[in-house]
Chains A and B, each alone.
Chain A
Amino acid sequence: MNKLSLDKETLILLYRKHKDYIVSVAIIIVCFILLIQVTIPQIADLSVRQQEVKTERDKLNSLSNNLSILSSITQDSLDQELSLTTSALPIEKNFTGILNSVTISANKSGVFLGDYEFQVGDLSKTTVIGKSLPSLQLSLSVNGGVNGAIKFITELYKSLPLAEISNVEINNSRSVISVVFYYKSYNGGANVSSPLAQISKNDSATLSQISGWNNGNGQVQPLPLPAVINTASPSATPTPSSPF
């Protein structure tokens, strides 16, 4: 019976006999393993890196855009526009601004203000009417006839804070007008890398429109800015908080 033995001599003999094949086949096998284990994963990794670089580039573009927007606007014009917009849409209920707006509108329209009543509602809840923005309703009694009341409403529409008439009841010389004054809270959650929106033509038109309105030229001091913006030193005098 033939016994298959793979001793050293046999192996050397086999190697010598098939030397040319063995080296070539070994190279092919090693290359194949390298291709499967290294090269193909490298290709897959490359596409992941490309995606990563694209994401980082987008982020870089967004940051560059933020920087260019901030560089294009001066501190003075920003403060002025911010003051105007916070007068138009305060961060919280701005009673002083509302009363100022009502008084200016009454003076301009030549009507006399009678009683007025703030319908503050539940202080723990935010009143939202219609447009998903919180608001404060004010019921006004105006003496001045139909034309006077309409003039008053027209003036009120061109006043800051922004108002909307919800009900009008005019009887001879006495009118009861329900006005809604809007405000909008601000959480200020954005960080430096959050993309900034450019001020559009529509926004510029809005700014120029409301700047000509009553209270739009700084007649009313806007409410203090939220804490996220206030950079006053800790030793500075704290701003008194609203009683509401």
Chain B
Amino acid sequence: MSSINLLRTEGPENVKVQKRKFVIRLISIVFLFFVVLTSITLFIISSRISPEAVRKEQDAIIRNLTLQKEKQAKYNLLIDRLVGINQILKSRKNYTNTLNALLSDVPQGVNTTGLSVENSDVTLTVNSNSLLSINEFLTKILDTVSKKHVIRDMTIETLTIDRATGSYSLSIKAKII
């Protein structure tokens, strides 16, 4: 009596096919899980970083700020004024120190008869009956120029004598630093 084998023999070709099916099935399942998990993760992250919550906080603060609108407008004006004031204080030329420094050099016996400041140019006119006093004044002012650095480019404009009164007049010009 011949026997019949009911079990299918696993040939190498069949094993290869089964393996291919398994690999494709595995790829599809992994891919499916990847897409599903990525989508869920992105959805959760996206819902968590919604700007709506931040906007609600903003609205609450804006409501509070609106109640202080007048105060805010005043504060803005204050800041605007301070910017302008600082700008002026920083850049405005103050001639008083220079003029005081120059006048402090005028010795006794020498009178200041004229002083003018225009576009950072200062002109000082003095007169005296003595040339020695004039000389003392010039020496002092040259010393001031080198020490205090308040003026530069100093030139003697005129040195005249009034024969009627016998007084000497000296005019110097310099640039204010």
Contact = CB atoms under 8 A, between A and B. Distances in A.
B74 A229 contact: yes
B35 A170 contact: no
B99 A199 contact: no
A184 interface: yes
A39 interface: yes
Contact of A85 (B81, B95, B112, B116): B81
Interface string A17-34: 000110111011001101
A12 interface: no
A146 interface: yes
B156 interface: no
B108 interface: no
- Assign chain A's interface to a size class: 35 or more
A67 B72 CA distance: 9
A63 B58 contact: yes
Contacts of B42: 39, 42-43, 46
A172 B74 contact: no
Nearest to A203: B82
A46 B81 CA distance: 44
A150 B39 contact: no
Contacts of B76: 188, 190, 194, 196
A149 B70 CA distance: 44
Contact of A210 (B34, B74, B85): B85
Given A34-B39, A133-B87, A229-B70, A24 B25 contact: yes
A53 B51 contact: yes
Contacts of B46: 42, 45-46, 49
B35 A39 contact: yes
Contact of A24 (B28, B39, B117): B28
Contact of B62 (A38, A88, A146, A193): A193
Interface in B42-89: 42-43, 45-46, 49-51, 54-55, 57-58, 61-62, 64-66, 68-82, 84-89
Nearest to B82: A203
Contact of B88 (A27, A39, A162, A228): A162
Contacts of B28: 23-25, 27-28, 31
Contacts of B29: 27
A175 to B, nearest CB: 8
Contacts of A146: 103, 112, 115
Contacts of A188: 73, 76-77
B49 to A, nearest CB: 5
A185 B7 CA distance: 102
Interface in A83-98: 85-86, 88-89
Given A69-B75, A167-B118, A203-B86, A153 B96 contact: yes
Given A24-B24, A35-B35, 16 more contacts: A21-B24, A39-B35, A60-B58, A66-B61, A70-B75, A82-B77, A89-B85, A146-B115, A147-B103, A150-B96, A150-B99, A188-B76, A193-B62, A196-B72, A225-B77, A229-B77
12 contacts: A20-B24, A24-B27, A28-B28, A52-B51, A67-B68, A146-B112, A168-B118, A188-B73, A192-B72, A199-B82, A202-B86, A206-B86
